[in-house]
Structure 1
Amino acid sequence: MTAGSRRPFSGRVGLVVAVLVVLVEGCWLVAGLPGAALVSDLGAVTVSSWAAVACARTARRHPESVRRFWMLLAVTMTLAALGRTVWTVQRLGGHPLPHTPLVGGLFTAGIITGTAALLCSLAAPRSLVGQARTLLDGVIVALALIPIGWVVVFRDIAAADLADPVRTFGLLYPMLDLMQLTILVAVSGPSRPMWRALTLIGASLASRAAADAVYVSLVAHGSYTPGHPIDVCWPLSYLLMGIATTWPPPTGGDGDEETGESPLPPWWRVALPYLPVGGAIVAVMLARRPTGQTPHLIFFGMMALLGVLALRQGLAANENLRLVARLRRLAYSDQLTGLPNRLTFNRRLRRALRGDGPVAVLLLDLDGFKQVNDRFGHAAGDRLLTTIAERMHDAVGADGMVARLGGDEFAVLVDGVRPAPPERLAGRLLAALEPLPGEEDLGVHPSASIGIAEYGPQHTSHTDLLRDADIAMYAAKAAGKSAYRTCTRELRESAVTRAELIADLRRAVDEGQLVMEFQPIVDLATGTVTSAEALVRWRHPRLGVLTPAKFLPLAEETGLILPIDRWVLREACRAAATWREQAPWVTVAVNIAAAHLRRPDLIATVTGAVGAAGLPPRALTLELTESALIEGSDAVLERLAQLRELGIRIAIDDFGTGYSSLSYLHRIPATELKIDRSFVSRLDAGDPRAYATVEMVNRLAHAFDLAVVAEGVETGAQHAAVAAIGCLHGQGWRYGRPAALPDLLATLTPADVTH
């Protein structure tokens, strides 16, 4: 149902009557029928009265944000109806053209209320400065058009006739109409919500402006008579105003214009109030009388124009100052926390280094903040960052400047005469970031790792100081988090070595520096090799052979673990296909990093490696750590389930050292558990707790129908203990050290196998 069909029946009848009145009046005036003047007056009074009622009814139907707009238009139409009524009465009383103060006052009051209505519309600026700027734009246009209109209308009028104020000051009416049109265009720009009703109101103003302009011209030339065809434009403007009431306001019209980002206005919108000014200057020169005098209306109009232009430019200058201040805030402060941002911090740091006093930097990184965002959402993360920023600011006080560098990274600059050493300041910060009662239970308050660097001869710029603070911060994380470390020469050298090792690791796969070794997994009852775990080694050209513990953590941090994992998977499958030619029962186990589990191409990577080697899927076991499985999403569990359906086995590695729980054993499609070597190693000493732990894990595995592998079996006593507990398989130096493929093949001869 349209907006028009929802209107009351009386409203629809009134609209039809108003349309008929305008049509009849137009035909009557064009045909020049008798009584045209009276028909013109009555038509204008009738339609303006109907428009006033329509606006008032519309105001009652709308909320407060729109009601004021329509009420002001209702008052405008009421003043128009009163003005036309007084005009009609005075004209019938003997005044051919009753330009009396009362009539002029009513029409002028209507222009004021109409202008106020435009400034109260949903599309208009919400701030007083914005409304004043829009009003001044309209006034500038109106004042600039006065001399132009003078030249166009009065260029062939005798000087003696121009002394009549009825003729000369009547020029103000079309100028005021154009002022309102300018304001309407200004408030209907692309940066504000468009309202179809404003289009009809604009057409109404244009119709009235045309009628006023032609009327003033005809009166000035003495050729106007009441009932002229131009008279139909006034009731037409009232009709369009009434039709505008049928359009509902745009959705979301209550929003504040100033709160959101809006597009830049087009160039013509900015230049609109100034375009007529140049024409006004030319018109002033043309309007000068032969005596050199300027007509009083033009003189005072130009003086007013200069004053309004000065006021408008003053507003523009004030607005520019506010924009500059806002841009400075945007450029130099963090919008979320209000703290100085990275740019401000670097500028202050460079300035501090040019001084003579000591300078230190504390670099803070929140521990576990990503989990807060993942668990509770970014809105909760933003609130937490704001709270942390406030606590840090309170903890540092006047001893330094706290800045947010980005994300969950903060920094503190300490310069000049320091009342507190950086280490003490770091302790205050850690204390301030400790969760308050109740926050720890919610799990939404991470700790922080702090790195401290003090400026010294070894630093050549502020970037060196920040680099050292970063090195110390990572050392604090490695120390267990919620701690601080000061950068030392040893830490700096270690960081350099680490960076060189990462650079070498990037070339290791492409240059063939990685090698494979295999450690057998045996049946504890028979000693038969049933599987072999693939272990990667790095044959570094300078450092020699490096074990996985030396380089895999770096690979995981840098993302290089992905190409390394793919290479290991391919090589392990090829090797298994080779040894299965003489020992078809021996499978291969390959460790997969947590980063690979989160990749959607995991299944394609695994099946591609198996297929390329010609290895049956049941001959491959993927070993995954507890932490990687616990952090896995539903998508990860779905991928693992698909791999199990293909026949690939899933082992939980280092079981007992992570977040072991019965709930995730129900969800993960595992086929075996590998008891961590830390429990097996204590069986030598007869540790009853270690024995009970291994026995419990073994029983748990049997309850879930999972195979068990005891890792790290090195001595006969450990072997006897895990065998007595009931573990079926073992892995460790007791059964064989990691070796190259040819050495493993030597242990797989049929003579060594018993069935």
Structure 2
Amino acid sequence: MLPRDVSRAVAPARPTLSGRVGLVVAGLVVLGEAAWLVARLPGAALVSDLGAVAVATWAAVACVGAARRHPAPLRRFWGLLTATMALAALGRTLWTVERLGGTELPHTPLIGGLFTAGILTGTAALLSSLAAPRSVVGRARTLLDGVIVGLALIPIGWVVVFRDIAAADLADPVRTFGLLYPMFDLMQLTILVAVAGPSRPMWPALTMIGASLATRAAADAAYVSLFAHDAYAPGHPIDVCWPLSYLLIGVATRYPPPPSCAGTEETAESPLPPWWRVALPYLPVGGAIVAVILARRPTGQTPHLIFLGMMTLLGVLAVRQGLAANENLRLVARLRRLAYSDQLTGLPNRLTFNRRLRRALRDDAPVAVLLLDLDGFKQVNDRFGHATGDRLLTGIAERMRDVVGDDGMIARLGGDEFAVLVDAARPVPPEQLADRLLAALEPLPGEEDLGVHPSASIGIAEYGPQHTSHTDLLRDADIAMYAAKAAGKSAYRTCTRALRESAVSRAELIADLRRAVDERQLHLEFQPIVDLASGVVRSAEALVRWRHPRLGTLTPAKFLPVAEETGLILPIDRWVIHEACRAAAVWREHAPEATVAVNIAAAHLRRPELVALVTDATGGAGLPPHALTLELTESALIEGSDAVLARLHQLRELGVGIAIDDFGTGYSSLSYLHRIPATELKIDRSFVTRLDAEDSRAYATVEMVTRLAAAFDLTVVAEGVETDGQHAAVTAIGCVHGQGWRYGRPVSLSELLATLTPVDMPR
């Protein structure tokens, strides 16, 4: 069961039957009054007064009901509207009593005060709506916008309504004060437009309130014009507009609260307001200036009310501009915070860090940079979601901030990368600071079981003569950080000349590797895979080699890890698959049952075009798909998503074989053997090598894998067979195929064709 407040917020009660009946009765009262006044029946003035009192009273009761039904954020809004309608009902009641007592138009201070109080409570209601600004400055700015528009109406109204009125008649304060009522109406309409704004869908209740204000503004403007020209008498048809405006307020109470009151949170960024909304309070000012010129009397004097109104308008404009200037200053300060700090952790960002670093280098002071990269943070995001990752980053940033303290400036450069600047003003050895940071990032008691607390790798670079700019220093810190990762992570390394030269060599290797495919520097060699029972070469694994123009022939271990890190493995794999299929097609002309195996990277598994690539390669070479086997590592398969598994099943449906390479070295699990459509297991050479030493555990491992493969109807290939003893062991265990130097080293295709005769087997 939901708590009372929550349940009311989620499912607000609908208006009761009595509320619906009251709405119908109020509507009938307005319609009846309109018909009575238009027909000019006897007692029109009394009907007009009683109708206004009745509808205003009903509207006040309806607002009380809305305040009770709606959630807490709206109760103040409806409470103020209740007071507004109650003051209107009370004012109209006193008006009626005074008029029946003999005063034709009882514009007494008490009645005027009640109507003015109603305007104040109505304005307060608009400023307390959910769409209104939340800050005091924002509400004051909105209120001033309304006041500016209202004050600008005074000279305009004077020209339109009072210009042809005799000066003697204008001495009556009642006549001139009547001009202020439309001003107040227009002020409230301006505030309503401002608070509704374009940032969210218009709440229908505010639409009804806006219609009520527009109706009242039209009625007040018509009343002032008629009254100024002695053309108004109680019971005039215009009188129906006031109860109609109260009726619209009552209709507004029937609408449910906006979605923001029902527990939903707006996450979308508010759009910028249109130009007319920004210019709204200033647009009527130009008209007011023209009206002041036109309102001047033949004597050159400006009427006192116009003069007073314009002076007030200038004062309000000055205050409004002061608020705008203050808001601009706060906005500039906020923009500076956004520009120079990280919004998630509150730390300085990359821009601030680079500015401080450049300033320190200009002072030619000893400077060191510590670059931190979290180990395994991507897995946290992938496994637990970005919200968990953000909370983790916030906690880690807080720990590092506490550790660094006044000994350096820590910044978040982006993602899971942080940096610490240590300059001469804080003479702490950077290695000591790195030790403290690594200790601070160790999991606290209980965090080890959560699996969401990565370690960090730290690279240190100290400013020296070899650095010409701050980018050189950051580059060296980056080099040292990657060296720390290569050393096993959760460690730090200081950049040395050897590390720098190694990084330069690696960068040159990457640049050369980008040209290797296009310039035909790659070639394939094939290592035979033999049938252990007969010695016949049944298959071969295609191995890529790089004929580097300067370094000579490089084996895959020299360049494939770099290719995988940089994404260059994708074009290399595409080339290898196509070349291997063409070579296998040539081989099958001599040995029709021969097949070829190709290693592909995990990155290719995640790409949807893998199936099309294999189909294109086999079809272009005229090779049957079943003559191709794709070898994948355990880790690549285990991390596979449902889309990856679907891709593997598509390949199997084509007939392509799927081999699990280096089996036993990854996170071997029976569960993924059930899911992956594998056809072959390749036992890693590390187990086969130990068979020579009569390692009972290695023997048991190979035997267990062989039996496991038989249970899953998978073929077994023993890798790394180099000696007769190893050959005898894997044969005795029951492995079907073998691969290794015992049967042949990797050779070119032409040399492979010479191995079609059985390999000599010991008796």
- TM-score using structure 2 length: 0.94
Give the one of 314, 329, 351 matched to 1:321.
Answer: 329
- What is the alpha-carbon distance in structure 1 between the residues aligned to residue 174 and residue 133 of structure 2? 36
Aligned: 1:309 with 2:317: yes
In the alignment, which residue of structure 2 is the partner of 1:37? 45
Tell me if structure 1 keeps the 8 A contact 2:144–2:320. yes
In the alignment, which residue of structure 2 is the partner of 1:274? 282
What aligned pairs does 1:175-190 form with structure 2 within 5 A after superposition? 175-190=183-198
Aligned-pair distance for 1:127? 2.4
In the alignment, which residue of structure 2 is the partner of 1:619? 627
In the alignment, which residue of structure 2 is the partner of 1:537? 545
In the alignment, which residue of structure 1 is the partner of 2:60? 52
- What is the alpha-carbon distance in structure 1 between the residues aligned to residue 216 and residue 200 of structure 2? 26
Give the one of 351, 359, 365 matched to 2:367.
Answer: 359
In the alignment, which residue of structure 2 is the partner of 1:152? 160
In the alignment, which residue of structure 1 is the partner of 2:127? 119
Tell me if structure 1 keeps the 8 A contact 2:524–2:545. yes
- What is the alpha-carbon distance in structure 2 between the residues aligned to residue 751 and residue 336 of structure 1? 65
Unaligned runs of 5+ in 2: 1-10
Give the one of 172, 181, 184 matched to 1:164.
Answer: 172
Give the one of 202, 207, 210 matched to 1:202.
Answer: 210
Deviates more, 1:146-155 or 1:335-344: 146-155
Aligned-pair distance for 1:497? 1.4
In the alignment, which residue of structure 1 is the partner of 2:308? 300
In the alignment, which residue of structure 2 is the partner of 1:237? 245
- What is the alpha-carbon distance in structure 2 between the residues aligned to residue 619 and residue 114 of structure 1? 84
Give the one of 337, 348, 362 matched to 1:340.
Answer: 348
Tell me if structure 1 keeps the 8 A contact 2:536–2:757. no
Aligned: 1:456 with 2:458: no
Post-superposition Cα deviations, 1:259-282, rounded to whole Å, max 9, x if no partner, equal 863111111111111222223233
Aligned: 1:724 with 2:732: yes
- What is the alpha-carbon distance in structure 2 between the residues aligned to residue 431 and residue 116 of structure 1? 57
Deviates more, 1:504-513 or 1:29-38: 29-38
User: Which amino acid in 2 is paired with 1:697?
Assistant: V
Deviates more, 1:425-434 or 1:656-665: 656-665
Post-superposition Cα deviations, 1:666-696, rounded to whole Å, max 9, x if no partner, equal 3332222222222222333333433333333
- What is the alpha-carbon distance in structure 2 between the residues aligned to residue 191 and residue 554 of structure 1? 50
Aligned: 1:410 with 2:418: yes
Post-superposition Cα deviations, 1:165-192, rounded to whole Å, max 9, x if no partner, equal 1111121111111111111111121024
- What is the alpha-carbon distance in structure 1 between the residues aligned to residue 341 and residue 14 of structure 2? 52
- What is the alpha-carbon distance in structure 2 between the residues aligned to residue 29 and residue 730 of structure 1? 108
Pair 1:28–1:703, CA change in 2 (3 A): closer
User: Which amino acid in 1 is paired with 2:350?
Assistant: R
Aligned-pair distance for 1:650? 2.0
- What is the alpha-carbon distance in structure 1 between the residues aligned to residue 709 and residue 268 of structure 2? 59
Aligned-pair distance for 1:750? 8.1
Aligned-pair distance for 1:108? 1.0
User: Which amino acid in 1 is paired with 2:582?
Assistant: R
In the alignment, which residue of structure 2 is the partner of 1:598? 606
Deviates more, 1:721-730 or 1:96-105: 721-730
Unaligned runs of 5+ in 1: none
Post-superposition Cα deviations, 1:467-492, rounded to whole Å, max 9, x if no partner, equal 11111111111111111111112211
What SS does structure 2 have at the residue aligned with 1:490?
Answer: helix
Identity among equivalent pairs (%): 85
Aligned: 1:88 with 2:88: no
Aligned-pair distance for 1:39? 2.4
Aligned-pair distance for 1:347? 0.9
**Which stretches of structure 1, 4 residues or longer, exceed 6 Å deviation after superposition?**
254-260, 750-754
Pair 1:69–1:751, CA change in 2 (3 A): closer
In the alignment, which residue of structure 2 is the partner of 1:567? 575
Tell me if structure 1 keeps the 8 A contact 2:537–2:759. no
User: Which amino acid in 2 is paired with 1:133?
Assistant: R
Cα RMSD between the aligned structures?
2.4
Q: How many residues align?
A: 751
User: Which amino acid in 2 is paired with 1:425?
Assistant: L
Aligned-pair distance for 1:52? 2.2
- What is the alpha-carbon distance in structure 2 between the residues aligned to residue 116 and residue 442 of structure 1? 51
In the alignment, which residue of structure 2 is the partner of 1:73? 81
- What is the alpha-carbon distance in structure 2 between the residues aligned to residue 8 and residue 277 of structure 1? 47
- What is the alpha-carbon distance in structure 2 between the residues aligned to residue 368 and residue 562 of structure 1? 23
What SS does structure 1 have at the residue aligned with 2:427?
Answer: coil
- What is the alpha-carbon distance in structure 2 between the residues aligned to residue 167 and residue 578 of structure 1? 109
Post-superposition Cα deviations, 1:126-184, rounded to whole Å, max 9, x if no partner, equal 22222221111111112222222223222122222222111111211111111111111
Post-superposition Cα deviations, 1:77-123, rounded to whole Å, max 9, x if no partner, equal 22112211211211121111111112111111111111112112232
In the alignment, which residue of structure 2 is the partner of 1:387? 395
Aligned: 1:577 with 2:585: yes
Pair 1:626–1:751, CA change in 2 (3 A): closer
In the alignment, which residue of structure 2 is the partner of 1:639? 647
- What is the alpha-carbon distance in structure 1 between the residues aligned to residue 668 and residue 378 of structure 2? 22
Give the one of 439, 442, 451 matched to 2:447.
Answer: 439
- What is the alpha-carbon distance in structure 2 between the residues aligned to residue 415 and residue 342 of structure 1? 17
Aligned-pair distance for 1:42? 2.2
Aligned: 1:653 with 2:661: yes
Tell me if structure 2 keeps the 8 A contact 1:65–1:254. no
- What is the alpha-carbon distance in structure 2 between the residues aligned to residue 33 and residue 366 of structure 1? 86
In the alignment, which residue of structure 2 is the partner of 1:221? 229
Give the one of 372, 377, 400 matched to 2:408.
Answer: 400
Aligned-pair distance for 1:401? 0.9
Post-superposition Cα deviations, 1:429-469, rounded to whole Å, max 9, x if no partner, equal 11111111222222111111111111111111111111111
Pair 1:476–1:257, CA change in 2 (3 A): closer
Pair 1:616–1:256, CA change in 2 (3 A): closer
User: Which amino acid in 2 is paired with 1:456?
Assistant: G
Post-superposition Cα deviations, 1:245-266, rounded to whole Å, max 9, x if no partner, equal 2322322247899986311111
- What is the alpha-carbon distance in structure 1 between the residues aligned to residue 759 and residue 637 of structure 2? 40
Tell me if structure 2 keeps the 8 A contact 1:126–1:258. no
Tell me if structure 1 keeps the 8 A contact 2:48–2:239. yes
Tell me if structure 1 keeps the 8 A contact 2:538–2:593. yes
- TM-score using structure 1 length: 0.95
In the alignment, which residue of structure 2 is the partner of 1:670? 678
User: Which amino acid in 2 is paired with 1:639?
Assistant: R
Tell me if structure 2 keeps the 8 A contact 1:122–1:254. no
Give the one of 480, 486, 500 matched to 2:488.
Answer: 480
Aligned: 1:249 with 2:257: yes
Deviates more, 1:733-742 or 1:663-672: 663-672
Aligned-pair distance for 1:65? 2.1
- What is the alpha-carbon distance in structure 2 between the residues aligned to residue 746 and residue 90 of structure 1? 123
What SS does structure 1 have at the residue aligned with 2:581?
Answer: helix
Tell me if structure 1 keeps the 8 A contact 2:534–2:758. no
User: Which amino acid in 1 is paired with 2:252?
Assistant: A
- What is the alpha-carbon distance in structure 1 between the residues aligned to residue 207 and residue 372 of structure 2? 57
User: Which amino acid in 1 is paired with 2:97?
Assistant: V
Give the one of 689, 693, 715 matched to 2:701.
Answer: 693
Deviates more, 1:740-749 or 1:672-681: 672-681
User: Which amino acid in 1 is paired with 2:135?
Assistant: S
- What is the alpha-carbon distance in structure 2 between the residues aligned to residue 13 and residue 437 of structure 1? 66
Pair 1:565–1:82, CA change in 2 (3 A): same
Aligned-pair distance for 1:638? 2.7
- What is the alpha-carbon distance in structure 1 between the residues aligned to residue 538 and residue 589 of structure 2? 14
- What is the alpha-carbon distance in structure 1 between the residues aligned to residue 260 and residue 564 of structure 2? 49
Aligned-pair distance for 1:505? 1.1
- What is the alpha-carbon distance in structure 2 between the residues aligned to residue 288 and residue 653 of structure 1? 97
What SS does structure 2 have at the residue aligned with 1:440?
Answer: coil
What SS does structure 2 have at the residue aligned with 1:273?
Answer: coil
- What is the alpha-carbon distance in structure 2 between the residues aligned to residue 537 and residue 19 of structure 1? 90
In the alignment, which residue of structure 2 is the partner of 1:494? 502
Give the one of 524, 544, 555 matched to 2:563.
Answer: 555
Pair 1:706–1:219, CA change in 2 (3 A): closer
Post-superposition Cα deviations, 1:334-363, rounded to whole Å, max 9, x if no partner, equal 111111111111111111110121111111
